[in-house]
């Protein structure tokens, strides 16, 4: 989903958001530093496989996915991180690794770390490695309807 299409989706739902441009960065911590955002407020998207089905995990940049907790929360038999080759074609128009956390738009389940729900606002990649979108967590949750679970371990 190109940045423009994400913005059109947000606009069509009357969502207030801010676009943040930053220097080229790839890791969540680099992006947070470049955009002057605290790591706990930057939402990173991690692709996982739940019994061979692709899903998104959204958590603060400063945290790591605990696969055992995710397995229990999802009720899955087999859980693992997805390799880039497995999902590179699922997000047309997005740079690899910069997909926004809107799994609902790509036909996949979304799990959100409960720590992320504590922030009034979140920021996330908008489909590129140079642009973020910041919006309220409340609006994000209303649009995506993620499953909120305790699935992260502090990094």
Q: Which domain holds residue 146?
A: 3-154
Checking if the pLDDT of 149 tops 60, the result is yes
Q: Cβ(57)–Cβ(113) under 8 Å? A: yes
Residues 18-43 have pLDDT tens digits of 998 887 877 777 777 777 777 677 89
Please give the Cα distance from 65 to 49 (Å, whole number): 13
Residues 103-115 have pLDDT tens digits of 988 899 999 999 8
Q: What is the pLDDT of residue 82?
A: 95
Give the 3-state secondary structure of 120-147. Answer: CEEEEECCCCCEEEEEEHHHHHHHHCCE
Residue 30: how many other CB atoms lie within 10 Å: 15
Residue 4 φ/ψ, nearest 5 degrees = -60, -45
35 compared with 15, residue with greater pLDDT = 15
CATH of residue 147's domain is 3.90.960.10
Checking if the pLDDT of 143 tops 90, the result is yes
Residue 91 φ/ψ, nearest 5 degrees = -125, 70
What residues are paired with 20 via a beta bridge?
A: 132
Please give the Cα distance from 36 to 79 (Å, whole number): 33
Residues 61-117 have pLDDT tens digits of 888 899 999 999 999 999 999 998 899 888 888 888 889 999 988 899 999 999 888
Please give the Cα distance from 38 to 132 (Å, whole number): 13
Output the six-digit token pair for 8: 């059109």
Q: What is the pLDDT of residue 39?
A: 67
Residue 55: how many other CB atoms lie within 10 Å: 21
Query: What's the structural domain count of the chain?
Result: 1
Checking if the pLDDT of 1 tops 60, the result is no
Q: Residues 147-155: what's their mean pLDDT?
A: 73
């Amino acid at each position: 989903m190109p940045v423009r299409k994400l913005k059109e989706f947000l606009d069509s739902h009357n969502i207030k958001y801010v676009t943040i441009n930053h220097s080229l960065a790839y890791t969540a911590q680099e992006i947070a530093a470049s955009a002057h955002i605290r790591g706990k407020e930057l939402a990173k998207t991690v692709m996982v496989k739940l019994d061979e089905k692709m899903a998104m995990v959204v958590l603060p940049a400063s945290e790591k996915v605990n696969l055992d907790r995710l397995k229990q929360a999802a009720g899955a038999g087999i859980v693992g991180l997805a390799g880039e080759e497995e999902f590179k074609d699922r997000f047309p128009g997005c740079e690899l690794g910069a997909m926004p956390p809107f799994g609902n738009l790509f036909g996949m389940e979304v799990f959100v770390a409960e720590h992320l729900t504590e922030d009034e606002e979140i920021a996330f990649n908008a489909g590129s490695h140079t642009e973020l979108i910041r919006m309220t967590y409340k609006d994000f949750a209303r649009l995506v309807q993620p499953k909120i679970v305790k699935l992260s371990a502090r990094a």
